[in-house]
Amino acid sequence: MADPQTYYLNRGESLPERYGEDRLVILPRDPHNIFAYWEISPQTREALARRASEEGCPEFALCLRVYKYGWGEGEDAEGFFDLEVSGDINNWYIAVPHADRCYRVELGCKAPGRSFQSLLRSNLIRTPRDSLSDLIDEQWQLPDWKAQKLFRRISLYHLSSAEFFRRRPEAKRK
Amino acid sequence: MAQGFLALILHAHLPYVRHPEYDHSLEEKWFFEAITECYIPLLMVFEKLRDEGVDFRLTFSLSPTLLAMMEDPLLQERYRKYLQGLQNLARLEEERTAGDPSFAPLARLYREHFDAAAAYLERYGGRLVPAFRRLAEENYLELITTASTHAYLPLLLLQPESIYAQLANAVQYHASLFGEPPRGLWLPECAYEHGLDEIISELGLQYIITATHGVLYATPRPKYGVYSPILTRSGVAVFGRDPETSKQVWSAQEGYPGDYDYREFYRDIAYDLPLEYIGPYLHPPGLRSDTGIKYYRITCEGLEYKEPYQPHRAREKAALHAGNFMFNRQQQVSYLASLMGRPPIVISPYDAELFGHWWFEGPQWLDFLFRKIAFDQADVKLITPGEYLDLGYPLQLAEPNPSSWGDKGYHEVWLNGSNDWLYRHLHKAAADMIRLATAHPRAEGLLERALRQAARELMLAQSSDWPFIMTSGTTVEYARSRAVSHLVRFRLLQRQIDEGNIDAEWLKRLEEADNIFPQLDYRLYQDFESSVPAGIAGVV
């Protein structure tokens, strides 16, 4: 039971179970496990049910399709695997085979004799390494603390993060 | 010329546990105990070393939540009363134990300890910040910061703006208290994830500290392991924790703090004496919880049989352990220097609250260690990461590995079945905060106050302490209620802002209750626009 002040400040509310949005997010837990959570909005759910009945296959199953990439965004997936999930859960821990790889997950539906239909697409993450790197190229550099000047500028002019990052493209080209 | 360097780093942090609504809160007591048992004893050791001309260097990370509590007038006043209660109890204990050869000297020891703490605080007008600042200005301490509310950064990187705000506000708050921005950033829980370095670098922070495998498993493989920092492409130096020194202090089996001559933490007079006698001095009164007065030594395995604590024996052990630690560092740096061809740096980070609270003799051990290093040898030199970087060694370019110093070395302590439900709400709130800050770039008056309060609630909800406590299973209900309350308050504010219908009276009460960071700038949350920095995961 909340004390009176907490009750007043929280106005008796607690956290919503869902936000009415479509989203699928993945987080790396360790080199071999990623955590996925998702929410399917009522609209998407309805559309899905409508399509399933139109196409005459009500027995579709929800499924997570886990794509493995090399080390970057611009590459094609090296492969994928599917995990069937029941319709009433909204999160899952996914065991992944390779450390230090990028992964993206799609939540979609599968029905017998039909191809995978994607509903939600996650962010891209990279799992940690679990061993020494095989790369032994050495490059050495003296640190350059140019960034220190930038801090003085935000404290002086109160630049926001947006103004800060607007300068990033120039920084990148150097 | 020293053969190598030792960088001792103490990280001091407590979550924001200010509860004006209660006369006595158990959580505020965490903070009070840390002041009496850790921060003041450590500061007294440092000042004594300085006054006696002992040259030493230490890096001290002070979390913004801890600093905000140290600077809060209500908590300062409450602490003064709390300490008075302890002083009175210690006097009563002196009377009760008078004539007892084992316990009377111990009662006196605690009375002197509490009196000294009160006198110390008096000298600084009830504030600890000036004491830290002075030692930093005299170059004994290098003060660094950490995320504003000690957020577990890797799991919040989905909205890089919220990391930027956590760090930028910390840097600004630190600079406002200590007169200059920090050079280094303590990563909460040493937790690193790809892409964090870019935000850290943008804020002018020069270095971070990671777990051993944060550096050891970097790409490409670091030539010197953890004994030289690496440099990220964005220009942040990364120091990796030395496994040997952490084991010597932390290990439950081999670690120094478990020595049988040291004081037993788990045997407190709060549990041994009749409630009629001790009740009024407990916090809250009548509820048995530690007073800090503990009369026994560890003695042996198990909690059954305990013998009285003998301060002189513990002191000898602390000296012996300091000597052992130093000897091992001499051997370590000589060996490493012979392999490396440049002086190695050994990075030894510890939780500050280990020293004095859990390990009663910890401050004494540090005192002995600093004296021995200064006078008994020339192989090892104490250094701070900032000073090391000033020496100008070229650093190897490498990308650190995602990791933490938590159990199993990655993010599992903060992401498992007991706490994973939290993240969907934290991410949603961060996304809403970014949207609101971007939509209202120049808010004033009530709207500005509501936006600022929303930013405070989000930051407080993001504390790594809540998911940590849920995993450790200690005060789970409290942690859960804190995380949920801040998220609920955030949502109420967000709704009122979106509807243009802010309840001024309620907002005022909220500002009084969750009053952290008076100057927090909500605009730190403005969208990075479409250009999410490369390497930073974003929702697609």
| Residue A33: band (very low, low, confident or very high) from pLDDT cuts 50, 70, 90 | very high
Q: What is the mean pLDDT of residues B383-397?
A: 96
Look at residue A157 in the predicted model and tell me its pLDDT: 40
How many other β-carbons are positioned within 10 Å of the β-carbon of residue B479?
Answer: 24
ipTM score for this prediction: 0.93
Q: Establish if B528 touches chain A: CB-CB under 8 angstroms.
A: yes
Mean pLDDT of chain B: 95
Q: pLDDT tens-digit profile of B80-127? A: 999 999 999 999 999 999 999 999 999 999 999 999 999 999 999 999
Q: Are B316 and B262 in contact (CB under 8 A)?
A: no
pLDDT at residue A161, as a whole number: 52
Q: pLDDT-derived band of residue A72, with 50, 70 and 90 as boundaries?
A: low
Q: Residue A170 pLDDT > 80, yes or no?
A: no
* Catalytic sites of B, residue numbers: 189, 351
Does the pLDDT at position B363 exceed 80?
yes
Task: Give the pLDDT confidence of B129-178 residue by residue, as tens digits.
Answer: 999 999 999 999 999 999 999 999 999 999 999 999 999 999 999 999 99
**Does B475 score more than 50 pLDDT?**
yes
- Apex B54 CA angle, B53 and B59, nearest 5: 125
Q: B225 CA to chain A: closest CA distance, Å?
A: 10
Give the model's pLDDT for residue B241.
97
For residue B401, give the nearest of A129, A146, A154 by CB distance: A129
Domains in chain B, ordered, with CATH? 415-525 (1.20.1430.10)
Q: Would you state the pLDDT for residue A50?
A: 86
Check if the beta carbon of residue B284 is closer than 8 Å to that of residue B23.
yes
- Per CB-CB distance under 8 Å, the chain A contacts of B481 are 2, 6
Residue A162, pLDDT > 60, answer no
Q: What is the pLDDT of residue B532?
A: 39
Percent of chain A residues past pLDDT 70, beyond the cut: 78
AA identity, residue B387: E
Percent of chain B with pLDDT over 90: 92
Please give the pLDDT value at position A1: 53
**Residue B445: per-residue pLDDT:** 97
Give the pLDDT confidence score for residue B102 in this predicted structure: 96
Determine the average pLDDT of the residues in B425-437: 98
State the average pLDDT over residues B496-515. 98
Domain locations in chain A as residue ranges: 18-126
Q: What would the mean pLDDT of B522-530 be, rounded to a whole number?
A: 84
Q: Token pair 């012979």 is at which residue?
A: B338
Q: How much helix, strand and coil, in percent to the nearest 5, is found in chain A? A: 25, 30, 45
Q: Does B485 touch chain A (CB under 8 A)?
A: yes
On the question of pLDDT at A75 being above 80, the answer is no
d(CA B282, CA B291): 7
**A–B: how many Cβ contacts below 8 A?**
199
For residues B441 and B259, give the distance between their C-alpha atoms in angstroms, rounded to a whole number: 58
CB of A25 less than 8 A from some CB of B: yes
* Distance of alpha carbon A124 from alpha carbon A141, whole angstroms: 30
Distances (CA, A) of B67 to A73, B80, B468: 41, 17, 21
Min mean pLDDT across A126-140, A152-166, B282-296, B330-344 is at: A152-166
Which CATH number applies to A18-126: 2.60.40.1110, 2.60.40.10, 3.30.70.3340, 3.30.200.20?
2.60.40.10
Quote the distance between the C-alpha of residue B535 and its chain's center: 29
Q: Which of residues 56-115 of A touch B (CB under 8 A)?
A: 91, 104
The 10s digit of each residue's pLDDT in A96-142 is 989 999 999 999 998 877 889 899 999 999 999 999 999 988 899 88
Percent of chain B at pLDDT exceeding 70: 98
Could you report the per-residue pLDDT of B187-210, keeping only the tens digit for each?
Answer: 999 999 999 999 999 899 999 999
Contact A150, B234 (CB under 8 A): no
The larger pLDDT score, comparing residue B249 to residue B462, is at B462
